[in-house]
Structure 1
């Protein structure tokens, strides 16, 4: 049946008209929308936001109209430590500061990849992949590590948000326009046989323009500053002449080398208990390469629980848009009755969703609690970065089976890994293609 005939379509329409249930569903869906019509109100009762392990975190942050969730999530894990250690009611680290250096470094990383592929046709898959999105707001944990090690962090008060950090569309648009134009220039220089020194001189001029564009749009990052705060006892503190790196060492103090990314990718090309990296994925030339240890889901959840039991929150990446009620803050496989609504079975396996482009990591958040019943996790507390107007003052609940299906990555301390797992992580990683779903940026 290569061609759809009018007779066949007429037959389908007649069958649809005969089904009275579908007529009622049609009325509901056309008036209220698909998700509103299929939402399962009962899921609220099975995902009550009460947890046997519940860490103190303060208020949620708000990334607003930007894709910096990975950055917010990482900085939030640090914020939790600072709140506790220095007896603060509320505090945030500057997302705009890290955002500035991320975009600056991503531009240079893009130039590096463009030059490395300059011998390929512009229509090659790798060059086309690079040019499709030269840089964006998203990122990976190891990319954040590279930024923290090189640039440190600063309090939000020292470099607050700007119009273009909270709503990044225009900045991304014009920065990518420039990077694509620069790519054409660099490739032309290579094609003409320009010297390495001439190419690097041109590249340096391009980076100066990137810096200028970012400084105009986001502000100029501070090099030194004073840190002032009042603790919960209303005692005043001031620490003068700090640099972003000395502030990190003194007030965050997290040994970034002690953390590893653990993923669950149950596809045939990624055996468990093996390490992986992704070609051309990164932001800082010479920075920490992205590396994952792939494990089964039970192991991933066990590691997350162990870190939470030690009082430390967990950065994690997931596909937040799947089976998720944004306003209600519930992520559960029964959040919507889509199969019943359309009388179609939408069910696929996690591996199929990865292989066929149905799902990948789209968002990073923080696990700040878990409910343990009879030794097993049943639901998880999730700190989002969408402000307090969604979920329970910005916190979401993820059912345990939702975690199984739509969580892809966590970051945990090395000491929670077994000797075998650590050895597998440190082994030379398998290199995945740039477009592999495990290269998705949260």
Structure 2
């Protein structure tokens, strides 16, 4: 390793004096935010909020200060089915209800996972990965399916938001302290030759009580009340599972997770899974079919053109304007002004921790020009104050670079893709980037 010599700093300053663009940039940044100065005005005309194919959907929801985007996106897919059946102009499922059971199941998943690490050294990489990950708000599609198929759904009015469900940071920190304490205590009991069943039971009881205090008590039965053009209606005495199966429709089993992971260790037309990633023990397996981006996009568009929205996962950290509701790598020009290259391939983004799926949303439209996709309409869960009443537009090139996952109905897959899907998945490392959680 080489230290930086003071003479090197003199050289850098000498070269800096010759960079007139950087002198101007320094003046601009004295009173302007760095991220607000890269927009290319001439490119905005290509990101108009018009789409040749658009699905009519309900008003957006708001996940607030929580990482529940994957739950919001999943419930947004389901609510469109309910809205069609009952002619609803506005409706939300209780995200709080689903998040409660997600937290509870993740707590149990963590506790049971520690059984595999009672004897290993404390710095075992997988153990440390589990401990550092702890309990988070984030999740993936298969985790959403497991929750709904076990616990069903309820309308938002039946279990409304609380302050804790909408702002989860401090609550999560308390849960993680308790779970890491459990891991330490369980390993010590095991070392002493004692059983840990009683400790498990105690921690589950304590954290269930804590969750009820934070989220409220999940309902076991409720009445579904709604209003449409025909007037007021009520369906009485429903369980959450009855509501899902009878009134929403048991449709989640028809969908699979298609990903684009262009890394050397994940050949296309193969399936993959990630160990120690999940929530419901005994629930749906985490499983992905890896396809070329053009195939993933073709399936996404095929589903949209059949008037079915698409849950998808992407990296929203780059080339975006939250207020305007735009994601487009061509609209934001960092390199010209900064005078340095920032281009990094999608493969290297995954391999070198620059990018991965971090947010889930719903695609509700696509603009096609001569059957070539130009931009996509997106339903987000950041409230109606941003974007176009909470809806966003993403360019086709941004889709290629930053979309990692689409949830596709199996009926749209080719025979070859179905065959590949049915193969036994390759098990990746627990810390593989495709195991990242959407928040």
TM-score between the two structures when normalised by the length of structure 1: 0.97
8 Å contact from structure 1 (residues 35, 336) kept in 2: no
In the other structure, the counterpart of 1:424 is 420
In the other structure, the counterpart of 2:218 is 221
Alpha-carbon distance, 1:44 to partner: 2.4
Is 1:332 equivalent to 2:324 in the alignment? Answer: no
In the other structure, the counterpart of 2:4 is 4
8 Å contact from structure 1 (residues 43, 332) kept in 2: no
Is 1:19 equivalent to 2:16 in the alignment? Answer: no
Is 1:434 equivalent to 2:418 in the alignment? Answer: no
CA shift digits 1:244-291 (9 cap, x unpaired) = 000001221032221100000000000000000001000011111100
Looking at structure 1, the residues matched to 41 and 124 of structure 2 have their Cα atoms a distance apart, in angstroms, of 49
Is 1:257 equivalent to 2:256 in the alignment? Answer: no
CA shift digits 1:390-415 (9 cap, x unpaired) = 11111110100000000000101111
Structure 2 residue corresponding to 1:349, chosen from 334, 345, 351: 345
Looking at structure 2, the residues matched to 129 and 335 of structure 1 have their Cα atoms a distance apart, in angstroms, of 37
CA shift digits 1:161-214 (9 cap, x unpaired) = 11011111111111111111111111122222224xxx2232122111111000
Alpha-carbon distance, 1:318 to partner: 0.1
Number of matched pairs:
438
Looking at structure 2, the residues matched to 310 and 340 of structure 1 have their Cα atoms a distance apart, in angstroms, of 41
In the other structure, the counterpart of 2:110 is 110
Looking at structure 2, the residues matched to 187 and 30 of structure 1 have their Cα atoms a distance apart, in angstroms, of 54
Alpha-carbon distance, 1:234 to partner: 4.7
In the other structure, the counterpart of 2:198 is 201
Secondary structure, aligned partner of 2:427: strand
In the other structure, the counterpart of 1:156 is 156
Structure 2 residue corresponding to 1:212, chosen from 187, 200, 209: 209
In the other structure, the counterpart of 2:84 is 84
Is 1:178 equivalent to 2:161 in the alignment? Answer: no
Tell me which stretches of 4 or more aligned residues in structure 1 moved more than 4 Å. Answer: none
Looking at structure 1, the residues matched to 117 and 372 of structure 2 have their Cα atoms a distance apart, in angstroms, of 49
Secondary structure, aligned partner of 1:268: coil
Structure 2 residue corresponding to 1:243, chosen from 231, 239, 242: 239
Aligned ranges for residues 87-166 of structure 1 at < 5 Å?
A: 87-166=87-166
Q: RMSD value over aligned CA atoms?
A: 1.1
Q: Which runs of 5+ in 2 are unaligned?
A: none
8 Å contact from structure 2 (residues 315, 402) kept in 1: yes
Q: Which runs of 5+ in 1 are unaligned?
A: none
Looking at structure 2, the residues matched to 11 and 123 of structure 1 have their Cα atoms a distance apart, in angstroms, of 44
8 Å contact from structure 2 (residues 259, 291) kept in 1: yes
CA shift digits 1:367-424 (9 cap, x unpaired) = 0000111111110000000001111111110100000000000101111111211121
CA shift digits 1:87-106 (9 cap, x unpaired) = 11100000000000000000
Alpha-carbon distance, 1:4 to partner: 1.3
In the other structure, the counterpart of 2:371 is 375
Aligned ranges for residues 22-41 of structure 1 at < 5 Å?
A: 22-41=22-41
Aligned ranges for residues 58-69 of structure 1 at < 5 Å?
A: 58-69=58-69
Alpha-carbon distance, 1:69 to partner: 0.3
Looking at structure 2, the residues matched to 89 and 389 of structure 1 have their Cα atoms a distance apart, in angstroms, of 19
- Indicate how the Cα distance of structure 1 residues 191 and 58 shifts in structure 2: closer, same or farther if over 3 A, else same: same
8 Å contact from structure 1 (residues 325, 335) kept in 2: no
Secondary structure, aligned partner of 2:119: coil
CA shift digits 1:202-248 (9 cap, x unpaired) = 212211111100000000000000011111x1511100000000000
Secondary structure, aligned partner of 1:348: coil
Secondary structure, aligned partner of 1:31: coil
8 Å contact from structure 2 (residues 21, 337) kept in 1: no
